[in-house]
């Protein structure tokens, strides 16, 4: 397979699988840590109205979803890519970071969560995904 096509496939797989992991974790989060009483978290509007009821524990799974989704996406990208493995893994982190920034404008989360999420869930996890992919080669 040509290098460019393989790299495009790597990025596409990283984005799709990373997004699936992210959504999977978000979907199970309500079972692990139930939302506050009276909070409708099934719609964005309901989530916006109830976000003030959330305690710090309610932000654990969203952070994990963002971090693990990015990690897995970058890992897959770094494994599948032919060249530029680190740059492509960081590209995955950048795409997810852009999604995180957009989400901060759509959902009024506490500032401490926004800071932790944007600083630690995306680019550092993409870098870690690249490093883990390199461990498999040695």
- Judge whether 96 lies within some domain: yes
- Judge whether 84 lies within some domain: yes
pTM of the model: 0.92
Domain containing 79 equals: 57-137
- Judge whether 4 lies within some domain: no
Instruction: Give pLDDT tens digits along the chain (138 positions).
Output: 799 999 999 999 999 999 999 999 999 998 999 888 888 777 888 888 888 889 999 999 999 999 999 999 999 999 999 999 999 999 999 999 999 999 999 888 999 999 999 999 999 999 999 999 998 555
- What is the sign, positive or negative, of the torsion defined by CA atoms of 34, 36, 41, 44? negative
- Judge whether 129 lies within some domain: yes
- Judge whether 22 lies within some domain: no
- Judge whether 44 lies within some domain: no
- Judge whether 32 lies within some domain: no
Residue 10: name the closest of 65, 71, 85, 69 by CA: 85
Structural domains of the chain, count: 1
The residue to which tokens 């599948």 are assigned: 80
- Judge whether 8 lies within some domain: no
Euclidean distance between CA atoms 124 and 96, whole angstroms? 12
């Amino acid at each position: 397979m040509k290098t460019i096509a393989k790299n495009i496939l790597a990025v596409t797989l990283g984005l799709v699988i990373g997004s699936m992991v992210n959504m999977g974790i978000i979907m199970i989060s309500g079972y692990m840590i139930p939302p506050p009483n009276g909070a409708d978290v099934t719609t964005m509007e309901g989530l916006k109205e109830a976000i003030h009821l959330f305690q710090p524990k309610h932000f654990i799974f969203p952070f994990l979803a963002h971090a693990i989704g990015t990690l897995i996406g970058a890992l897959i990208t770094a494994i599948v890519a032919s060249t530029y493995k680190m740059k492509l893994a960081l590209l995955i982190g950048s795409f997810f970071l852009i999604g995180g920034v957009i989400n901060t404008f759509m959902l009024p989360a506490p500032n401490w969560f926004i800071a932790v999420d944007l600083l630690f869930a995306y680019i550092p996890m993409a870098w870690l995904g690249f490093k883990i992919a390199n461990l498999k080669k040695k």
